[in-house]
Each structure stands twice: as structure tokens, then as C-alpha cells.
Amino acid sequence: MLAIGAILALLAATIVVITRDDDAPEPAAAPTTTAPAGADEQPSSSAPTTEPEGPPLSQDELEVLVEELQAFVAEARGLEFLEPVEVELADGAAFESRLLEDFEENADEIADVEVFYKALGLLDPAASLLDELRAIYSAGVLGFYDPESNELVVRGASLTPYVRKTIVHELVHALDDQHFELDRSDEYDERKDEIATGFTSVVEGNARRIEQQWLDKQPDDVREQADAEERAFADGIDVDAFPEILLFEISAPYELGRIFVDAIVAERGDRAVDAALQDPPTTSEQVLFPPLYTERQPRIEVPRPPADGEVVDDGVVGALFWFGLFTTGDTTVAPQEAFQAIQGWGGDWAVTWMDGDAACVRIDIVGDTQQDTDEMEDALRAWVEDSATGEVSIVDERVRLDSCVAGAGAVPPQV
């Protein structure tokens, strides 16, 4: 469980995707998405000041509207709600407190993953990944559905168009949860592959698909107001305060998930979503390239490389992370070179450890063919040269990336 997507995959909420306007890659440009519930810390100062505005709302009015939106979601999904869904509107600090109250449950896993990002120079050695994630979610989350407690909470005090769209998104989660059980933590927590990321891409892609169907049926003025609310909300977020790779990884499953779900629905109809929820993609490569999911193309098994210290974490990195690494931040690989590298991704395995106060990582990667392996090597060498981080070598016909960054602090909990 190395890339942050594996952790966030088990958490659920709706977020305005926070991306930089300058040269942001297309997969990161998702307007809404879903994020974690967690943490008992005070809301971050980066939280937006813009809340959806509108007339005060009574509980009766909320229940009537939720019933109407549930009917739309049920018809669009072709499934019936097995029980009513309670929706709560929470404003400002009250919403953020509810959102973050369970975040500490994932603190140990996030501390392990922190070593991976620091070792690659993607997170400042003095920074806390947990604090970064708290800030991102405090800033951008619009609503969340907790499949463990069946809670559905939306930021706002009134039912503006944007709030209604968010409720639709989360009701899709509630409906899917009633039929397919979205709480997969017991099943996926200990796995070191990408099935949690694949599962989340289906869950969020489906919610975004239905959310868009609802929006498309609204009058022009409602769609325009929803767009205006979204822009106002996003404008209140300090994009430069966050590492771009984290923004990419948080947002990509929603945007790419929508593309993936659209592709399987176009090929096999609406029930293909049900099948994908029951048997999700096992690699992010299958999400990026839906025909590979249809073929169930497996990843190539890569042995865990040796660590030069006590192992903190290990597992699959995946094509999605490499795409984000090559196309975000100040160090970028040429787009065509990046695309060729991830298109030929065959498999990888990474291991992290601490060497004193230095965070270290070693990753072995192979492509589907020798040419694909060569293309990944070229892309990695270009990234290393540009970033001045790590070194690339060939070991047993696998591409190896080694990197250590000093100043990363104390050793996190060991596996």
C-alpha cells in the first residue's frame, strides 16, 4: 500500500478537485470527486471561505428534496433503494469537524506512505503527509457518505444547485452501498496491490456519471448557478499550498473513473457497473486503459527488491502513480514519452525504509515487452535528470529506481 490512492480508496466524500491552472494534466481536472472522512484536529486555515448560499432550509424541505433526488438516482441506476437515506446538511466548522473526526484511524498507514513520497522528493522532508491530507480535505470536500455508518453529510446550509448535485453524487454511493457493500476495508486493507484504487475508480466514476445525468436534465439557469458555485468554492482554495502529485492522485480516480465507467457502459450496458463493483479493476492500468480490464490483463509479478534497512512498507506503485509523477510538478517528462511509458507498464514493486533521518525507496519495474521496459527506463532517466532525485539502473533485466532524501525525521511505525 504505497501510493496514497490505496489509502484514500477506502474513504469516501465529495471534493472540488484542487488543481493548478498552468499545464495541469487532463486526468487531474475533475470538477467533483470523493475524499476521506477523518481526524479530530481543528479545521485547516486553508479551508475555503465560500459556503453555498441560499434561503434557510427546514428539515421537512430537506426530506422532500432528498426523496425526489433518491427517485432520480434509483431510476438512473436501475436499482431500488432498500431503505431510506438520511441526509444531513452541516455548515462551516460543524461540517469539517464531522468530516475529519475519523481521520486518525488511518494515521499509521499514512505515516508509512509518507516515507515513499519523501524518498522521491515529492513531499518536503519536514512536512507531515497527514497534515497535508487534512488540509486538502478541509479545503475541498463538499460532502461525504460513510459506508461503515451509512452517514451522508453535505457541506452547506441551503439546497443550492451545487449542494443538490453533491447530494445526488452521495446518494449514488448510498444506493451502491445498499446493493454491493462499499465498505471493503477488511478485504482490501492488507493488500499490497491496486485493487482498492480500481474499486474506488468504479465507485466514484459511477457517481460522477449519474451526477452529470442529473445536471444535464436541469434548466440552463440551474446548470449555470451550479457551475458558478463550483468556481467560487474552488477559488477559495490556495492551490499552491499543496504538493501537486497529491492533488493529482486524489482527483484522478474520479476523472479517470468516469471515463472508465463510461467506457464499460458503452460496451456492455448499465449492468456492467454492477459487475465492476463486484469484480473491480485490479490495476490502475486497467482503469487508464479500459480494454485491459475487459481482457483482465494481469500485472507482471515483480519480486520485492531488497531493502538496505528495516522495511517500512512495500507494494505495487502502479501506472497511475507513474503518470502523475511524469506529468505534474516542476519536473515533467515529455507528454508522449510519459504516455508511452505508462501504456507499456507491466508491473512493479517498491520497498521503503529509513536510514537514520533519510527516507529511502527502491522500486523495480518491468514493461510488457523489452521495448516497453526500455521506454520506462528512458522516462525515469529523464525524470531523475530533471528532478535531481534518485538514480536509475538495470538489475536482472528490470529497471530500478533508488532514491534517498535526508531530513525526513523519525522512523514511522514498522511493518
Please provide the DSSP assignment of 220-241 as one string: HHHHHHHHHHHHHHHHTS-GGG
The pLDDT tens digits along the chain (415 residues) read: 566 665 565 455 566 644 454 443 343 333 333 333 332 332 222 233 345 455 666 777 888 889 999 999 999 999 999 999 988 888 778 888 878 876 777 788 889 999 999 999 999 999 999 898 888 888 778 888 888 888 888 887 778 899 899 999 999 999 999 999 999 888 887 789 999 999 999 999 999 999 999 999 999 999 999 999 888 877 777 777 888 898 899 888 889 999 999 999 999 999 999 999 999 999 999 999 999 999 999 999 999 999 999 999 999 999 999 999 999 987 778 888 888 899 999 999 999 999 999 999 999 999 999 999 999 999 999 999 999 899 999 999 999 999 999 988 754 444 4
The pLDDT of residue 343 is: 94
Domain assignments of the chain as residue spans, ordered by start = 5-294, 311-405
The pLDDT of residue 347 is: 97
**174 burial type by CB count under 10 A (0-12 exposed, 13-18 middle, 19+ buried):** buried
The pLDDT of residue 335 is: 84
The size of the chain, in residues, is: 415
Strand-by-strand arrangement of the 14-15 sheet = 14-15, 141-146, 151-155, 87-90
Task: Indicate if the alpha-carbon torsion angle 205, 209, 214, 216 is positive or negative.
Answer: positive
H or E stretch at 295? none
The pLDDT of residue 24 is: 39
The pLDDT of residue 333 is: 84
The pLDDT of residue 49 is: 36
**What residue has cell string 456492455?**
268
Is residue 397 left, alpha or beta, with left meaning phi > 0 and alpha meaning psi from -120 to 50? left
Look at residue 337 and give its three-state secondary structure.
helix
Distance, first Cα to last Cα, the chain: 11
* pTM summary value: 0.87
The pLDDT of residue 190 is: 79
Closest CA to 293 of 264, 331, 336: 264
The pLDDT of residue 6 is: 54
Closest CA to 78 of 274, 278, 216: 274
